[in-house]
Amino acid sequence: MNLNLPAGKLIDISLPLDARTFHMRTYSGFKKDMQFEVEVIKDYQDGGYGQIVRGAHMRLHAGTHVDAPSHMLKGAPDLQEVPLRAYFGDAIIADVRHRGGGEAITPADLEKAMGDIILPGDRLLLRTDQNQDYDGSPAWMKTSSLCECCGDRLVRREADIANRI
């Protein structure tokens, strides 16, 4: 597969997935609790070709991941329908480290962090550094997030620019 990646530095923003430190909330309505776990189903010394074979139990929302549009919108595309190219490329980084756990990132925060430079199709990364304390504790689960009006603002920005083209 040729992704035609741009020359330059590629930064992996994914966190290690570790059963000791990673724990997900299980809300009412879940059919079962499925936490991240790696299981050795055949070890080196157990015959076969002398290899180790591992299996993983996990939700598709464990650790660093992308939510498919269908995660929240019934009938929207599943992850395999999103072009792989969508995951590579330049991104705008909005530094919102001043927002603590459970706090909302506001339009003023975004304005201060990135001004008016975002364009349709741009990727936006929110730098919170909250993963520095990644331990799966209830306190950690209260990460900062975009307030609803920020999402609306970003969507409007894209719509405004698209209308001028």
Where does this chain bind Zn ion (CB under 5 A)?
A: 61, 67
User: In the complex, which residue's CB is closest to Zn ion?
Assistant: 61
110: exposed, middle or buried (C-beta count within 10 Å: 0-12, 13-18, 19+)? buried
Rounded least distance, CB 61 to Zn ion, Å: 3
For Zn ion, the closer of residues 120 and 151 by Cβ is 151
- Cα 123 to Cα 130: distance, rounded to the nearest angstrom: 20
For Zn ion, the closer of residues 113 and 128 by Cβ is 128
Residue 109 parent element (H or E): helix 107-114
DSSP string, 48-76: TTS--EEEEE--TTSSS----GGGTSTTS
Rounded least distance, CB 83 to Zn ion, Å: 19
Rounded least distance, CB 48 to Zn ion, Å: 35
For Zn ion, the closer of residues 61 and 156 by Cβ is 61
Query: What are phi and psi for residue 120, nearest 5 degrees?
Result: -55, 135
Rounded least distance, CB 130 to Zn ion, Å: 16
Q: Position of tokens 């919102």?
A: 96
For Zn ion, the closer of residues 60 and 161 by Cβ is 60
